[in-house]
Amino acid sequence: MKRAAFLIALLCSAVWAACDGIVGGDDDNFAFDSVRVTFDSAMVDNAEGLALLRGNMQVDGLIILPHPCHTLDAEYERFGGQLTLVVHATPTSTTCTGELTAMQYRLQTFGMPGGPYRLRVYHQIGTATRTLIAEQNLTVG
């Protein structure tokens, strides 16, 4: 009787983990980095995702900021087949002189399950509403 209960508990935990990986919220390992680049008036906010080998993905983007006193960080989430990246630009000073500036960024994920995904990339400057910058389908191998 104890053996049967143990096997049922083991089976339930395996099914739970598998279902969470298919439809639930999952945390992937990711790295985010950004660098300031020389602003050109032809630049616009953009982002592009690339599916890489062995469950890896990369998103390269550019965000245009109203002044150079910002830092960038990212919020990344995978929920089932939906990938969401929100790039936050946080002001570091309230007295910074207004001057358009650009920052380039890269997000890399590691160890994602292979399959089709829908990627959405948003930019959010300070407390303003986030703006959809890019949306695309990817197939991670």
Task: Tell me how far apart the alpha carbons of residues 68 and 15 are, in angstroms, rounded to a whole number.
Answer: 50
Task: Tell me how far apart the alpha carbons of residues 77 and 85 are, in angstroms, rounded to a whole number.
Answer: 7
pLDDT score for 3: 55
Whether the model pTM is above 0.85: no
pLDDT score for 118: 97
The residue whose two tokens read 């399950």 is 113
Task: Tell me how far apart the alpha carbons of residues 57 and 45 are, in angstroms, rounded to a whole number.
Answer: 20
Single-letter amino acid code for the residue at 2: K
The angle subtended at Cα 44 by Cα 48 and Cα 74, nearest 5°, is 50
Q: Which residues sit opposite 140 in a β-bridge?
A: 115
Q: What is the mean pLDDT of residues 7-17?
A: 47
